[in-house]
Amino acid sequence: MNSSRFWVRLGLYSALTAAWVSMMGSLYFSEVMRFTPCTLCWFQRVLMYPLAGLIAFGILRRDHHLPFLVLPFSLLGQGVAVYHYLLQKTSIFGQPASCGLGVTCSSVWIDWFGIVTIPLLSVFGFMAITIGMLMVIAGGENRPNLVGAYRWPRWPVPVIVVIAVALYVAEAVRAGEMEVSLPEIHISLPSSVPFLDLSTGATPTPVPTATPTSQEKGESLYAQACASCHGAQGEGVEGLGTALADSPYVSQLSDDAMLALIRDGRAADADDNRTGLAMPPRGGQSELSDEQIGFIILVIRDWQ
């Protein structure tokens, strides 16, 4: 097999793999982990999901125009994903705000190594597809005089699709097994014992004293991190977040316990989670400090 054919094959099947893994991965985050997609997440899905079918059918049909059909989607999707990542990790575009009903587009659901978030994974997916299609073009298979000169094999298509779907199913089953196999452990601490931050071994920053200034800070931070799911005045948003105002559950929590809940988030399958959706750590704002969470708690306490 000559080098041009090798690069064509590598580009085609790498792009197909990236599209299907990206689609199954996004479904895993939303349907298994119950991470609520924001508006920009949906834009990326709209651009990624058709590519999974388009690339597969393009390879099966041996369509030499496939790269030119795929590149507009992958390039636009890559641009949206880069913008989304910068919105999460920088202040270039101003303060975080809700880009629609639900979690803010700057919410961070995963933050592996302090760098890798879901939008960055999306960047990698779209980039792999783009590079793959450019490899096909560079391989010369789209030049008119070479059309029909080489037919790439079709058999890898069902193999790649089946592997991607199997990985999704396996992870979904594993997540389900973890839910039922983990024992429930309830530890009661006296109210006089502060909640320990297990990540550092230190006690959290105490909730600040209520003053006009601290209340103003709390309202601003609450609007950024909490309002899109729990409502501007803590009234709750149906299907997203429960009411915080006049909430018996919230009122019985100590300040330390509330700080830990906001800081650590809550899994979709938690016993006291009535929405069935995960709550992101720190309200999805990874840079939110314990002191800033304390200002948010002031606002919530004012509604009790």
* Range in 179-188, 242-251, 258-267 the model is least confident about: 179-188
Contact by Cβ (8 Å): 228, 24: no
CATH of the domain at 229: 1.10.760.10
Q: Are residues 163 and 111 in the same domain?
A: yes
Residues 103-107, mean pLDDT to the nearest whole number: 77
Q: Which of 245, 265, 261 is nearest to 103 (CA)?
A: 265
Q: Is residue 161 over pLDDT 60? A: yes
Domain assignment of residue 206, yes or no? no
What is the 3 state secondary structure string of the chain? CCHHHHHHHHHHHHHHHHHHHHHHHHHHHHHHCCCCCCHHHHHHHHHHHHHHHHHHHHHHHCCCCHHHHHHHHHHHHHHHHHHHHHHHHCCCCCCCCCCCCCCCCCCCCCCECCCECHHHHHHHHHHHHHHHHHHHHHCCCCCHHHCCCCCCCCCHHHHHHHHHHHHHHHHHHHHHHHHHHCCCCCCCCCCCCCCCECCCCECCCCCCCCCHHHHHHHHHHHHHHCHHHHCCCCCCECCCECCCCCCHHHHCCCHHHHHHHHHHCECCCCCCCCCCCCECHHHHCCCCCHHHHHHHHHHHHHCC
Domain assignment of residue 269, yes or no? yes
What was the pLDDT predicted at 43? 95
Q: Is residue 177 over pLDDT 70? A: no
Domain assignment of residue 52, yes or no? yes
Domain assignment of residue 193, yes or no? no
Domains in the chain, number: 2
Q: Is residue 105 over pLDDT 70? A: yes
Residue 101 to residue 3: CA distance in whole angstroms: 50
Q: Are residues 138 and 81 in the same domain?
A: yes
Question: Is this structure's pTM higher than 0.85?
Answer: no
Q: Are residues 234 and 282 in the same domain?
A: yes
Residues 189-207, mean pLDDT to the nearest whole number: 46
* 266 backbone dihedrals φ, ψ, rounded to 5°: -145, 135
Q: Are residues 29 and 143 in the same domain?
A: yes
Give the sign of the dihedral formed by CA 14, CA 19, CA 22, CA 23. negative
* Range in 149-153, 167-171, 186-190, 294-298 the model is least confident about: 186-190
Q: Are residues 142 and 250 in the same domain?
A: no
* 183 — pLDDT class (breaks 50, 70, 90): very low
Q: Is residue 284 over pLDDT 50? A: yes
Q: Are residues 107 and 230 in the same domain?
A: no
Domain assignment of residue 197, yes or no? no
Residues 289-304, mean pLDDT to the nearest whole number: 80
- Residue with the bigger pLDDT between 301 and 9: it is 9
Residue 86 to residue 142: CA distance in whole angstroms: 35
Of the candidates 181, 200, 223, which is a domain's last residue? 181
Percent pLDDT > 70 in the chain is 77
Give the sign of the dihedral formed by CA 137, CA 129, CA 162, CA 61. negative
Q: What angle do CA 121, 223, 39 make, to 5 degrees?
A: 35
CATH of the domain at 91: 1.20.1550
- pLDDT for 17-35, tens place per residue? 999 999 999 999 988 888 8
What was the pLDDT predicted at 162? 96
Q: Are residues 266 and 162 in the same domain?
A: no
* 203 — pLDDT class (breaks 50, 70, 90): low
* 181 — pLDDT class (breaks 50, 70, 90): very low
Q: Are residues 124 and 21 in the same domain?
A: yes
Domain assignment of residue 234, yes or no? yes
Q: Are residues 176 and 279 in the same domain?
A: no
- Residue with the bigger pLDDT between 144 and 78: it is 78
- Residue with the bigger pLDDT between 149 and 256: it is 256
Burial class (CB in 10 A: 0-12, 13-18, 19+), 180: exposed
Domain assignment of residue 205, yes or no? no
Q: Are residues 132 and 172 in the same domain?
A: yes
- pLDDT for 209-235, tens place per residue? 667 677 778 777 777 777 777 877 777
| Helix (H/G/I), strand (E/B), else coil: 279 | strand
Residue 70's domain comprises 3-181
Chain mean pLDDT for the chain: 79
